[in-house]
C-alpha cells in the first residue's frame, strides 16, 4: 500500500490536494507542520478546519500545548504511529506539509541524537554576546534573529550534534511537490493573509500570549509578526503587510529546502498534480 507525500511552500494548495486525494483513495492525512502540532494555534498556522477534519481524518495536529517542548524527533515518533494506524485500517497514508525537516525526518527515517542537557544548561547561562561570539568563533551561521538567546542556543546545539542518519526513500512512497508560478503564489499568500485577519488571527494571537506569554511556539511565524499590533505600535494594515512579507520569505525558504530533493515530482498547481496522479499512478495503489 502506497504512502503519498505532498510538499511545497505555504499557500501552494497542498491542503486542497491532500483532501481531494484522501477522499478519492480512502486515505487519511498526516500533517507535517511544526506549528499545527500545537493546541489553540489554529488560524495563525492555517490548521485544517473543523470541516476538513470532519471530511477526512487528520493525524499529528493538536498534540501538545504551546508551552510544552516538541522536537522533530517527537514528530517522527508520532507520525510513524499515525502511519501504522492508518495502514492497519487498510487506508492510504497521505502526509502533507511544508516543514522540510519534519517531513524528511519522517519519510527518510532519520535517527536523531538527543541534545546534551549539561551543554544546553551551559549555553543558557551565557549572555547573548557570549553566544554570538562563540558562534562566530566556530564559523557557524548566525540565526536570522541573531539577538534571540533561544535561537543562538539552538544554533550551537545543532552544530554540536552529528548529522542525522538518513535512509533511502521507501519504494512504496511517492512525493508530490506543488510549486505555483511566482505571481500565483504571491496572490495566494496575500489572499490567505486577508482571510486570517477576517477569521480573527489578531484575537487568537492575543489570547495565546495572555495564556502562554513567551512560550517558544509563539516566538515565530505569524504570531511574532502580530506582536507590534498588540502593543499598539503598528496599524492593522501594516500588520497585514508584515504577515504577507513573512509568508513570502517562508515560501522562499521552503522551496529552497524541497528543490534540493531529487525524489520529488513537481507540479505548478494542485489540479495539475491531481490529473497526473489519476492518469499515471492511481492504478498502482
Q: What is the 3-state secondary structure (H, E, C) of 200-266?
A: CHHHHHHHHHHHHCCCHHHCCHHHHHCHHHHCCCCCHHHHHHHHHHHHHHHHHHHHHHHHCCCCEEE
Distance of alpha carbon 210 from the chain centroid: 24
Q: Give the integer Cα–Cα distance in Å for 41 and 49.
A: 12
The highest-level CATH class for domain 3-113+162-284 is alpha beta
Minimal CA–CA distance to 196: which of 80, 47, 64?
A: 47
Which distant-in-sequence residues (6+ apart) come within 8 Å of 280 by Cβ?
Answer: none
Regions in the chain scoring below 50 on pLDDT? none
CB–CB of 12/179 below 8 Å? yes
Q: Give the integer Cα–Cα distance in Å for 263 and 242.
A: 34
Predicted model pTM: 0.85
Q: How far apart are the first and last CA of the chain?
A: 6
Q: What residues form DSSP beta bridges with 4?
A: 94, 174
Under DSSP, the state recorded for 268 is S
Q: Give the integer Cα–Cα distance in Å for 169 and 212.
A: 39
Query: What is residue 200's predicted lDDT score, i.e. its pLDDT?
Result: 98
Cα dihedral 160/37/95/247 (nearest 10): -80
Amino acid at each position: 500500500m502506497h504512502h503519498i507525500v505532498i510538499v511545497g511552500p505555504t499557500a501552494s494548495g497542498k491542503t486542497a490536494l491532500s483532501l481531494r486525494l484522501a477522499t478519492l483513495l480512502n486515505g487519511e492525512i498526516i500533517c507535517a507542520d511544526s506549528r499545527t502540532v500545537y493546541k489553540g494555534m489554529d488560524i495563525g498556522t492555517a490548521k485544517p478546519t473543523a470541516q476538513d477534519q470532519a471530511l477526512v481524518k487528520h493525524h499529528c495536529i493538536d498534540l501538545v500545548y504551546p508551552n510544552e517542548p516538541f522536537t522533530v524527533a517527537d514528530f517522527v515518533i508520532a507520525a510513524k504511529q499515525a502511519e501504522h494506524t492508518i495502514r492497519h485500517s487498510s487506508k492510504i497514508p497521505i502526509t502533507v506539509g511544508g516543514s522540510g525537516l519534519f517531513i524528511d525526518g519522517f519519510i527518510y527515517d532519520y535517527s536523531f541524537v538527543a541534545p546534551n542537557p549539561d551543554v544546553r544548561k551551559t549555553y543558557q547561562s551565557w549572555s547573548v554576546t557570549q553566544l554570538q561570539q562563540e558562534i562566530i568563533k566556530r564559523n557557524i551561521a548566525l540565526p536570522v534573529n541573531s539577538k534571540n538567546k533561544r535561537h543562538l542556543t539552538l544554533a550551537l546545539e545543532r552544530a554540536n550534534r552529528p548529522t542525522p542518519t538518513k535512509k533511502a526513500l521507501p519504494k512504496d512512497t511517492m512525493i508530490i511537490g506543488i510549486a505555483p508560478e511566482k505571481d500565483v503564489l504571491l496572490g495566494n499568500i496575500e489572499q490567505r493573509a486577508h482571510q486570517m485577519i477576517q477569521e480573527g488571527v489578531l484575537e487568537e494571537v492575543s489570547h495565546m500570549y495572555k495564556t502562554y506569554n513567551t512560550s517558544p511556539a509563539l516566538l515565530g511565524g505569524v504570531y511574532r509578526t502580530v506582536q507590534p499590533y498588540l502593543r499598539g505600535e503598528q496599524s492593522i494594515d501594516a500588520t497585514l503587510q508584515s504577515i504577507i512579507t513573512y509568508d513570502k520569505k517562508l515560501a522562499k525558504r521552503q522551496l529552497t529546502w524541497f528543490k534540493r530533493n531529487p525524489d520529488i515530482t513537481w507540479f505548478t498547481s494542485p489540479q495539475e498534480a491531481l490529473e497526473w496522479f489519476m492518469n499515471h499512478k492511481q492504478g498502482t495503489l
